Amino acid sequence: MKDRSQPAPIAPVSAARTIALALLLWTAISMLGALQTYSDNLRGGIDSHYPALLATWFLEYAVPLIVLSAGLSLALSRWPGLTERPRHVFALFLGLVLVFQPAQWTWMAWMRGYLDIASLGDVWQLLRKMLLVGWFSATGTFAAVLALHTWRRARERELAWQRSQTDMLHLRLALEEQRMLALRAQLEPHFLFNALNAISALVRGGDTALALGGIGRLSELLRYALAASTRSSSTVAEELDFVRGYLDLQRLRYGERLQVRIEGDGPLLHDAACPPLLLQPLIENALRHDLDCRAGPGDIRLSFAQMGNALAIRVTNPAGPGTPANPGAGLGLANTRERLRLMHPGASLQAGLQGERFVAEVRLPLAGED
């Protein structure tokens, strides 16, 4: 089993790239520094050679800082958690002060020929001479590497968060699509079951001719339902045509008792998008709680009206004293409400008693409206 406490190995390409970048950066800085020194010498009348100045700059100043920047970068790549806590950063800074800085002074003193020490006094003089040499460049390099590492870590976290949000969005969309398909799978057999019930009632009553006509009408409705099941949306005008065919089929069962008044049918319905098979469950619910619950002719009303930026669709039917307080809690209306929510966050279905009538009202945002 892999030991998770061990640091991950550094990829060779990554380590080589880090060292190469540090080498290029400090070589460029050495070239600029040597050029500045050469220019100052010219203005001061001092004879100097640029290649020699460049070699001095690179060997005395750049080499230690190349070691610092590359080594610190590689260490942070291998142990990225070193900057997560303040005490770890402080420990790194102590290493800079107690280990790297004396090593840098020793290197520069050796390059300048200052290591000819004969007494403790010579050591003290060397320490005073080298005390501030390279201090600002070393601490600046240290701070820059830590800042770059912190920025990279923050960027990685941000990208990881964005990827997780994108993955969650894709997953949610996939789940919503599956829920929509499941709702359709529930709705279509439910509609078919009720339509077959209407035809079977005619067969039991001996109305063979009417039953055959109902089968023909049912085949037309099923063709539309199958076509609609492959689409994500329809128009209210198409759904109204489907409902008229559905009512013709139900009229074979109920006869003259089935009375449905449709108001507000106009051009607006051709532009209003809606889920497929939207109106049929509303009409079916009205039939079930009107004609199936009482004798005499029905009184179902279907109306369309523009209300601001939405199309309001109302299906109402009488609700007698014995009508349940919420007769719209069945499968048809529950599925319709969920399908509306999935189609558009601004779409809704409200159902309940209003006086002596049960009202189911759909609000559909019109095209171009959020």
Question: Is the same domain home to 256 and 232?
Answer: yes
In-domain check, residue 2: no
Nearby residues of 101 by Cβ (< 8 Å), 6 or more positions away: 134, 135, 138
Give the pLDDT band of residue 230 (cuts 50, 70, 90).
confident
Mean pLDDT, rounded, for 72-100 = 83
Quote the pLDDT of residue 328.
42
Q: Lowest mean pLDDT: which of 95-99, 192-196, 322-326, 362-366?
A: 322-326
For residues 73, 74, 79, 83, the Cα torsion angle rounded to the nearest 10 degrees is: -10
Domain range holding 120?
A: 12-165
Per DSSP, helices labelled H in 132-207 are 135-204
pLDDT exceeds 90 at position 286? no
pLDDT tens digits for range 121-144: 667 776 776 666 677 778 888 888
**Which of 165, 180, 206 corresponds to the end of one domain?**
165
More confident residue, 42 or 201: 42
| E strand or H helix that includes residue 121 | helix 120-130
pLDDT tens digits for range 146-179: 888 888 888 888 888 888 887 776 766 665 565 5
Question: Is the same domain home to 204 and 334?
Answer: yes
Mean pLDDT, rounded, for 251-273 = 85
In-domain check, residue 94: yes
Question: Is the same domain home to 58 and 99?
Answer: yes
**What is the percent of the chain where pLDDT is above 90?**
8
Residues 290 and 350: beta-carbon distance below 8 Å: no
Quote the pLDDT of residue 313.
94
- Give the bridge partners for 274, in sequence order: 234
Mean pLDDT, rounded, for 35-61 = 83
Average model confidence (pLDDT) for the chain? 78
Give the pLDDT band of residue 321 (cuts 50, 70, 90).
low
More confident residue, 184 or 332: 332
Q: Which range has highest mean pLDDT (2-16, 216-230, 338-352)? A: 338-352
Residues 236 and 366: beta-carbon distance below 8 Å: no
- List the one residue out of 276, 177, 260 whose CA is nearest residue 221: 276
Question: Is the same domain home to 152 and 201?
Answer: no
- CA 250 to CA 278: how far, in whole Å? 17
In-domain check, residue 106: yes
Quote the pLDDT of residue 77.
84
pLDDT tens digits for range 49-85: 888 888 888 887 888 888 888 888 888 888 887 777 8
pLDDT exceeds 50 at position 4? no
Question: Is the same domain home to 183 and 156?
Answer: no
Nearby residues of 296 by Cβ (< 8 Å), 6 or more positions away: 257
- CA 15 to CA 5: how far, in whole Å? 21
pLDDT exceeds 80 at position 205? no
Question: Is the same domain home to 122 and 183?
Answer: no
State the total domains in the chain: 2
Quote the pLDDT of residue 318.
87
Using a 10 angstrom Cβ sphere, with 0-12 exposed, 13-18 middle and 19 or more buried, the burial of residue 225 is buried
- CA 110 to CA 325: how far, in whole Å? 97
Question: Is the same domain home to 290 and 181?
Answer: yes
Q: Lowest mean pLDDT: which of 12-26, 190-204, 217-231?
A: 190-204
- CA 100 to CA 78: how far, in whole Å? 19
**Which of 165, 198, 228 corresponds to the end of one domain?**
165
Question: Is the same domain home to 212 and 237?
Answer: yes
**Which of 140, 165, 190 corresponds to the end of one domain?**
165
Question: Is the same domain home to 217 and 161?
Answer: no
In-domain check, residue 85: yes
Q: How far is CA 265 from CA 20, 138, 308, 313, in A?
A: 75, 81, 17, 11
